Amino acid sequence: MSNSDPKTRPRPGPWPPAPDSSAMPPSSWAKKTGFRPKFSGETNASDSGQISLPAPRPREPEAQPDLEAGRARPQPPLNGVPEREVAAPAPAAPSDKDQTVKRRKDSNGGSKVAANGPSGPNGQAAAGPTEPNSQPRRPARNEEVVDVLPHGVDDDENVARHSHMKYELRDTPGLVPIGLYGFQHYLSMLGSIILIPLVIVPAMGGTYEDTGNVVSTVLFVSGVTTLLQTSFGSRLPLIQGPSFVYLAPALAIINSPEFRVLNGNNFKHIMKELQGAIIIGSAFQAILGYSGLMSIFLRLINPVVVSPTIAAVGLSFYSYGFPLVGTCLEIGAVQILLVIIFSLYLRKVSIFGHRVFLIYAVPLGLAITWSAAFLLTEAGAYSYKGCDINVPASNIISEHCRKHVSRMKHCRVDTSHALRSSPWFRFPYPLQWGTPVFHWKMAFIMCVVSIISSVDSVGSYHASSLLVASRPPTPGVLSRGIGLEGLSSVLAGLWGTGTGSTSLTENVHTLAVTKMGSRRAVELGACVLIALSLVGKVGGFLASIPQVMVAALLCFMWAMLAALGLSNLRYSEAGSSRNIIIVGLSLFFSLSIPAYFQQYGISPNSNLSVPSYFQPYIVASHGPFRSKYGGVNYVLNTLLSLHMVVAFLVAVILDNTVPGSRQERGVYVWSEPEVAKREPAVAKDYGLPFRISRVFRWVKWVGL
């Protein structure tokens, strides 16, 4: 047996290097790396770092494990002559003896194990075939390993199955499982799809019927664009829908000075202005993707840029969230508490193998709170003698009714007539609100917003590919996905959803929770979404959700969006002082600079014509830029009042000018096109169907 005393142990040969005399205790090392001994009859390691075998075989030297590399250490040289390296076990029985094992525990108590091959930065597997007897490189003690979702290659040089996913990208388990999982996938993201119309349509002066029609249109466009993205775009299982990235600029356009003096039907007029701006901005995004400019722009986008940009999107709506919840605190606060309890305290409760409370936290909380509010309304808790909710507040004479009109409006669930007024069948069609109106200043704002949307999608593509695909996509596939998102947003502009259609950031969280990465499940769910959009009563039912419940759900959704943005830092060295300062400055200035623009020129006692939660979006009328060019003033005042724009500008400038290594910055590593073409698994993951790729062979930046 080899001696564990570092003073009497013979000096090893040139390979492997001599380990430190004070080896790391296996108890802490195993927790950090997930090392699992494979030796027969092995017990726990002792404090000396030596593995004890109860019954060693005669005439066979004991193999001492290397605690740094996670494999058997070669025997020391005899008589000063180094021996040959220990041969690796035969590849016929796959094991973890001769390869690095990494285990990563997720936040839900699960574990992700990746074996059979080392992974590169950001989860990209090493290119080229691996020799069966080759030993993986031992990392240096001062070398940090990026904490990503790794994956490996099996014996057939195909990508090994991710142990943390039930179904992967190309799996087709059957019609019934696909249907159930697809419905579950969309139901868990219900809030992200329908909540934006419930905010912008009332802000435009639309009626309950208009809100129901817009919700049906959003469902239709979301289903169509999801089918396009999974078939001809990135081909990842990402649901397309109205992104929160477009919400703040849409509210800024809605509250423009020229629209506040309109009389009559403001909804259709403002919607046509929004349609024109979205179409121009989306066409710019399509050109950015299909022209190949996105591949060049991709060099500037890294996790340190994506994290504060997406986090600023969620943090920017703090003035809308709880102030509106406070209008009926007993309903809104209960809604928030229920979602928190389901998603955090009951997240590990499993029913029939499914974490029901974690997956359906939003719809469950909405259903329970809505039912409770309905019972309170029917019991007369919000009925006051002599007061009628249908009478406008300006016509109410009684002081008693004036005092309770706010509670009657926000707490009652029977104030909406969307369900009764909506038809049973309605087909959403393009230009249903009229011909779009184009103004260059609003179109320029949407062009800038489309860049922020592309940054959001880059982070979603990378994170979701590590969960469900064989490798990260190539720059060409990513450009193709961004280009198709631009075309999808053009469709959203033509149909009149009020926002663009992009890959929802919440996709990554939903994929990790539901463990359903099948592309077919998302496509089947998209078909169901299109069918539901044709039933007008569905849109009317969703449009009748009380506004205070919408605000309560948005508080949770925006908080999760901010957290998902910051989670991109796991691909970089989050503890680096460089990254900490860049992210901190980006987040602080994303809140402080827009606050300066939003408060400029407003006196404390000024009587504004918009609600308090919409005041941050009227900056175009009182911002600090007041030159003789009104359009330029509008653009600069509006853009610099958007939190995500300021966060992106600060982060992209600092991250690309402050020196830092690629590992420290966590530079996204995308698959090389030539390597991807040689691997059948990657070609099947991202290749276009129906041999359409032959058409694009002359355009190298939209294919593999």
Reported as a single tens digit per residue, the pLDDT across 523-577 is 988 999 999 999 999 988 888 888 889 899 889 989 999 999 999 999 899 889 9
Cα torsion 320, 499, 689, 186: sign: positive
Contact 331, 408 (CB under 8 A): no
Band (438; pLDDT cuts 50, 70, 90): very high
Q: Is residue 422 situated within a structural domain?
A: yes
Alpha-carbon span 387 to 402, nearest angstrom: 9
pLDDT at 188: 76
Unique residue bearing structure tokens 């709506």: 317
pLDDT at 350: 85
pLDDT at 600: 85
Q: Which of 148-157, 280-289, 309-318, 391-400 is predicted least confidently?
A: 148-157
Alpha-carbon span 504 to 513, nearest angstrom: 15
Within 8 A by CB and 6+ apart from 339, the residues are 361, 362, 365, 552, 553, 556
Strand, coil or helix: 241: strand
Q: Could you tell me the CA-to-CA distances from 601 to 42, 598, 620, 622, 639 in Å, in that order?
A: 74, 8, 11, 6, 17
Q: Is residue 517 situated within a structural domain?
A: yes
Is a pLDDT exceeding 70 seen at residue 12?
Answer: no
Is a pLDDT exceeding 70 seen at residue 180?
Answer: yes
Within 8 A by CB and 6+ apart from 307, the residues are 565, 566, 567, 568, 569, 583, 651
Q: Is residue 236 situated within a structural domain?
A: yes
Alpha-carbon span 432 to 631, nearest angstrom: 29
433 vs 142: which has the higher pLDDT: 433
Is a pLDDT exceeding 50 seen at residue 422?
Answer: yes
Q: Is residue 71 situated within a structural domain?
A: no
Closest CA to 643 of 313, 256, 322: 313
Backbone angles phi, psi at 580, to 5 degrees: -60, -45
Pairing of strands 102-105, 71-73: unpaired
Q: Is residue 326 situated within a structural domain?
A: yes
Band (382; pLDDT cuts 50, 70, 90): confident
Q: Is residue 462 situated within a structural domain?
A: yes
φ/ψ bin of 531: left (φ > 0), alpha (ψ from -120 to 50), beta (otherwise)? alpha
Q: Is residue 4 situated within a structural domain?
A: no
Q: How many domains are there within the chain?
A: 1
Is a pLDDT exceeding 70 seen at residue 608?
Answer: no
Buried b (16+ CB within 10 A) or exposed e, 413-450: bebbbbbeebeeebebeeebbeebeebebbbbbbbbbb
Contact 220, 533 (CB under 8 A): yes
Tokens of 502: 């992009």
Angle at 599 between CA 594 and CA 603, to 5 degrees: 175
Strand, coil or helix: 3: coil
Band (190; pLDDT cuts 50, 70, 90): confident
| Chain Cα centroid distance, residue 107 | 16
Write the burial class of residue 604 (CB in 10 Å: 0-12 exposed, 13-18 middle, 19+ buried). Answer: exposed
Unique residue bearing structure tokens 């049973």: 424
Contact 643, 312 (CB under 8 A): yes
Please report how many Cα atoms fall inside a 13 Å half-sphere around the Cα of residue 581, on the Cβ side: 9
Closest CA to 568 of 344, 239, 317, 305: 305
Tokens of 692: 């359409």
Alpha-carbon span 662 to 4, nearest angstrom: 38
Alpha-carbon span 185 to 179, nearest angstrom: 10
Within 8 A by CB and 6+ apart from 557, the residues are 191, 192, 195, 244, 314, 362, 506
Which structural domain, as residue segments, surrounds residue 453?
176-690
β-partners of residue 532 are none
| Chain Cα centroid distance, residue 100 | 30
Backbone angles phi, psi at 262, to 5 degrees: -75, 150
Band (90; pLDDT cuts 50, 70, 90): very low
Alpha-carbon span 689 to 362, nearest angstrom: 35
| Structure letter (DSSP) for residue 702 | G
Please report how many Cα atoms fall inside a 13 Å half-sphere around the Cα of residue 379, on the Cβ side: 8
CB atoms within 10 A of CB 122: 24
The string of pLDDT tens digits covering residues 214-235 is 999 999 999 999 999 999 988 8
Within 8 A by CB and 6+ apart from 81, the residues are none
The string of pLDDT tens digits covering residues 667-688 is 888 888 888 878 888 888 888 8
Tokens of 60: 């066979």
Q: Is residue 82 situated within a structural domain?
A: no
The string of pLDDT tens digits covering residues 140-171 is 444 444 434 334 443 333 444 454 677 788 87
Closest CA to 408 of 424, 427, 385: 385
pLDDT at 395: 56
Is a pLDDT exceeding 60 seen at residue 354?
Answer: yes
Please spell the DSSP secondary structure of 34-45, one letter per residue: -----STT----
Cα Rg of the chain (Å, integer): 29
| Structure letter (DSSP) for residue 81 | B
Q: Which of 76-90, 97-111, 463-477, 648-662 is predicted least confidently?
A: 97-111
Contact 374, 413 (CB under 8 A): yes
Unique residue bearing structure tokens 């290594």: 661
The string of pLDDT tens digits covering residues 236-286 is 999 999 989 999 999 999 988 888 776 667 888 999 999 999 999 999 999
Contact 587, 315 (CB under 8 A): yes
| Structure letter (DSSP) for residue 360 | T
Contact 430, 224 (CB under 8 A): no
Task: Quote the mean pLDDT of the chain.
Answer: 77
Query: Where are the strands (E) in 250-369, listed by range?
Result: none
Average confidence (pLDDT) over 184-197? 83
Contact 456, 156 (CB under 8 A): no
The share of the chain scoring above pLDDT 90, in percent, equals 31
Alpha-carbon span 506 to 519, nearest angstrom: 16
